[in-house]
Structure 1
Amino acid sequence: MRLDPDVVEMVAANEADWDARAALHAASGFYSRQAEYWFAEYEWEDLGELAGLDVLHLQCHLGTETIAFAERGARAVGLDLLARSLDEARRIAAAADAKVEYVHANVYEADEALRGQAV
């Protein structure tokens, strides 16, 4: 997908801003909370049974919610614009022994980045 130059500029500025925050966010402890923290009980109820489902988590940042989906039995894939965030997400997932996959791409390129994957 070819983006308008103004959109490309805005995406780059957003990427730089979030990229600068990734390590700070990972060090904060906020993202080390249990799966139940990330959604209210009614949201988990609305999601229903996740076991055996493929879940794609767009703009996953540090992937904590992605891990929560995997903990509930989903084959979870997180996609994010930032390589630095995904480095932290992979570290957090490894520490949690979570079976998740992370893909580096922006949401506008998600289809291409995930082509051939069952998500």
Structure 2
Amino acid sequence: MPDDTLPTTADFLQTNRKRWDELAEHHPDTEFYDVERFLDGATTLRPLELEELGDVSEKPLLHLQCHFGLDTLSWARAGADVTGVDFSEAGVSMARELADETELDAEFVQANLYDLPDELDGEFDVVYTSYGVLAWLPDLTEWAEVIAEFLAPGGTFYMAEIHPLGTTLADLQSDGAAEIGHSYFEDDAMRYEVEGTYADWEADIENTTAVEWQHGLGEVVTALASAGLTIEFVHEFPFSCYQQFPAMEEGEDGWWRVPDAEKQVPFTFSVQARNAK
């Protein structure tokens, strides 16, 4: 008899883990990540998060969904006492290799974010996450609860992320005209077949299936507030951290914009919240 069992959330996460294991092996060799520049002493952090989060010197910092650790190690260079977490074994392995090569003091933990309370102890003055992370999480309520569990009293949660409005667009023209690809309020898991990777669209990637979840900005803020955190700001910006659409051009500041668009929409947002306990 045919197997009519529908895939579960655990199945989807396993699908994504296989893809990200492969991406973690490929991404360090791409121009997009420019590991050589990082090894020469450069930071991979953008002025946005450096300015908004501020001084992290000697602060314990937990970086969730850290991929292969470049941003985590950049925070270590900025003086933080860092711990990076990712569900990809290959990503965490590469992060540890880079920590050894750069002689930066960093701990890396391989864990599904939702299982992290069983894998890691302690509290952190800063919990941080950024750019392209929320789409891989099926449940933001639990995500926020994990953040709150690890955030020390008075500690800061900060995130800079791809705006959920931009992710709904199937195309964007140079005048700002756009085609909607899927609902902003989509509740179901969205399964895609993806050739290559955002870091190298010509890459020969075997694991082409990806599963994402749409989360609106209201859902993000409500999850954090419901977990007991005090929202300090929510900012939105009309630029992207990568070439999200062909009409975008990269500025001297490294951000991608639609330069002549008559109608602007947000492509990036940031949130800061505090554990007021």
Residue segments in structure 2 that go unaligned for 5+ positions in a row: 1-6, 125-277
Following superposition, the deviation at residue 28 of structure 1 comes to: 2.3
State the percentage of identical aligned residues.
29
Paired residues for 1:21-100 under 5 Å: 21-29=23-31, 30-32=33-35, 33=38, 34-35=42-43, 37-39=44-46, 41-100=47-106
User: Structure 2: how far apart are the matches of 1:113 and 1:93?
Assistant: 20
Tell me the C-alpha RMSD between the 2 structures.
1.5
2:120 match: 114
1:20 match: 22
Residue segments in structure 1 that go unaligned for 5+ positions in a row: none
Q: Write out per-residue CA displacement over residues 27-86 of structure 1, whole angstroms, 9 at most, x where no aligned residue.
A: 225251321x322x2321111110111111111011000001111111100001011111
User: Structure 1: how far apart are the matches of 2:69 and 2:48?
Assistant: 21
Larger radius of gyration: 2
TM superposition score normalised by structure 1: 0.86
User: Structure 2: how far apart are the matches of 1:42 and 1:13?
Assistant: 32
Number of residue pairs matched? Answer: 112
Q: Write out per-residue CA displacement over residues 66-119 of structure 1, whole angstroms, 9 at most, x where no aligned residue.
A: 00111111110000101111111111111111111000101101122112x343
Deviating above 4 A after TM superposition, structure 1's stretches of 4 or more consecutive aligned residues are none
- Label 1:61 to 1:27 Cα distance change in 2 as closer, same or farther (>3 A): same
Query: Which structure has greater strand proportion?
Result: 2
2:144 match: none
Name the structure, 1 or 2, with higher relative contact order (CA <8 Å, separation 6+): 1
User: Structure 1: how far apart are the matches of 2:94 and 2:28?
Assistant: 7
User: Structure 2: how far apart are the matches of 1:46 and 1:27?
Assistant: 30
Query: Which structure has greater helix proportion?
Result: 1
User: Structure 2: how far apart are the matches of 1:93 and 1:18?
Assistant: 20
User: Structure 2: how far apart are the matches of 1:82 and 1:108?
Assistant: 14
- Asked whether the 8 Å contact 1:25–1:31 carries over to 2, the reply is no
User: Structure 2: how far apart are the matches of 1:78 and 1:45?
Assistant: 21
Letter in 2 for 1:65: D
